[in-house]
Amino acid sequence: MIGDALDGLDERQREAAATLRGPVLVLAGAGTGKTRVITHRIAHGVDTGAYSPGRVMAVTFTAKAAGEMRGRLRALGVEGVSARTFHAAALAQLNFFWPTLAGDSAPAIVDNKVRLLAHAADGVGIDADKATLRDIASEIEWRKVTLRSIDAWAAARPGGVGRYDVSRVADLQRAYEKLKDERRQLDFEDVLLACAGMLEAEPRVAQAVREQYRHFTVDEFQDVSPLQHRLLQLWVGERRDLCVVGDASQTIYSFAGADARFLLEFPARHPDATVVRLETNYRSDGAVLAVANELMRDRPGALELQPAPNRPPAARPETATAAGEPPLPTVTAYPDDAAEAAGVADAIAARISAGADPRSIAVLYRAHAQSPELLRALAERGIAATVLGGRRFFEVPEVRQALMALRGASVATQEHGLVDSVRDVLRSLGMTDEPPPAGGALRDAWEARAAILRLAEEAVPGTGLRAFTDDLIARAKSQHEPALRTVTLATLHAAKGLEWDHVHLLGLSEGFLPISYATTFEQVDEERRLAYVGITRAGRSLSLSWSRSIGHRERTPSRFLREIGSGTLRAADGRASGGAASRRAPARNAPTASSAPRSR
């Protein structure tokens, strides 16, 4: 163990990390250090002898998050903990036990659900386009993670999908399942279902798993689906060492089966549970947190976030007001979408000119369709941007080419230092000292190669080219991607778990946020949580904006601006040419046509 695992934790974090036995619920607000608490708690358990690393399972929802958790544990001197996603853990168990139970290897995993659906559709005379098949694939996923049969799905989704009524979609689902069985394949959700079924049907398998894993930790517990919760119950059995961590205000995947009730009802299911609330935020200034708190006030499970008392001063050349205070979050109205994109791009250009690192700036929005206008506006100002959710860094052809070249160069004797050696290789592949103009493939390739060079510059002194290349390969496997020196554009869903100093959240009008198809109370509530996730990504400054029209159609400001209230926002003038003065955010209690009740 490297040092004391409880060192550097605040009082509440320390309480959570020091509670090693019995059910534990950690309600961790945005920016409160939940991953730090999880890893330090495990490290403290290993350090004190309460845990054996090989008997600990830490479960999260993405391979990237699992990789980060393993990395943090290694930094604390802990090796051997099973930090995996639900699917990775379930698949490992299936592959291990299936040959013994069935005398054969486990079924193959479907690599393309939509393609298999298309083959099944041919068999039942359905000629559906790819978009419709993708929607039906989503319905299959929802059905399985919510533990519904096809008939139960049909009762819950009577509207059908697209132009196909519910009975036809049900027929297609049955054909899909039959074809999958004939090909001896499992889809992504079947992995969890099959693992749960194996544990339920085979007591000796359940006993072996429970003997192997004695201590469970589950991150992002608000995103657990009924299927995942059932599998977790089977893993844990009668044991009591279960720690769950989550934030109900960040439940943004209900449409995919996530159910925050498992988090909210944990104390009722475990009356003797220790409950710890983490509400000290180490990411955002108080002005940003005030906006977030107002938006979520009185919502189930909402936490009251407070800025850390020892947080470094926020006043920086590019963020401070004349009085040296952090800027109040602003709301700006623009005449149309093009003016909004131009205004946001102008603000970003000014911030970069004042000294901000482009990597510290993000523009967030509800839907990918909002990004092209932004990319054009930024490119016109010479600002490079990266859209999250596109091609992964290590899948970019220029990055793969660089990896191969570096690997080859690492075999030869290097006469230069690491940085010079990496620079020489990248130059041989076409990298220039000055970047090409923003907005094209050449600039994207340049930024990717520049990121590799920065990794070399940030490497531990004395690192050789071979070790550096091995680290890059390990990064590729764990999806540990470097940050490009660009402004980030991302949907609110893609932004979850990330943070930036400066955030522009645009499209805060009715129809965009909340999205037009959010018509029920629950759907609008999920949109509110999406807005909350976007707001809490901001560390130093937050800018909200909306546009008044699209074509000849008028828009109204989002109801969420009313819920936040003008007391926590400063109105700003529209910066676009031809724009009228910005409309001040409606007062908290002012009636508006778009307002919606905050509770039932």
3 labeled binding residue: no
Angle among Cα 549, 552, 558 to the nearest 5 degrees reads 25
Compute the half-sphere exposure of residue 35: CA atoms within 13 Å on the CB side of its CA: 19
Q: Which residues contact 388 (CB under 8 A, 6 or more apart)?
A: 488, 489, 490, 491, 494, 495
CA–CA gap between residue 239 and residue 233 (Å, rounded): 10
CA–CA gap between residue 343 and residue 378 (Å, rounded): 10
559 close to 596: Cβ distance less than 8 angstroms: yes
CA–CA gap between residue 395 and residue 107 (Å, rounded): 28
Q: How far is CA 407 from CA 412, 460, 464, 469, 523, in A?
A: 10, 19, 12, 6, 50
* DSSP state letter for 235: H
34 labeled binding residue: yes
28 labeled binding residue: yes
Full strand arrangement of the beta sheet holding 24-28: 82-85, 56-60, 215-218, 242-246, 24-28, 274-278
For residue 367, give the nearest of 487, 512, 256, 496 by alpha carbon. 512
Q: For the chain, how many residues are written? A: 600
133 close to 161: Cβ distance less than 8 angstroms: no
217 labeled binding residue: no
Tokens of 186: 């499992």
Q: What is the CA radius of gyration of the chain?
A: 26
CB atoms within 10 A of CB 151: 9
For residue 467, give the nearest of 405, 418, 395 by alpha carbon. 418
CB atoms within 10 A of CB 127: 8
35 labeled binding residue: yes
447 close to 413: Cβ distance less than 8 angstroms: no
CA–CA gap between residue 325 and residue 332 (Å, rounded): 20
CA–CA gap between residue 359 and residue 502 (Å, rounded): 9
Binding-site residue numbers are: 28-35
Binding-site residue numbers for ATP are: 28-35
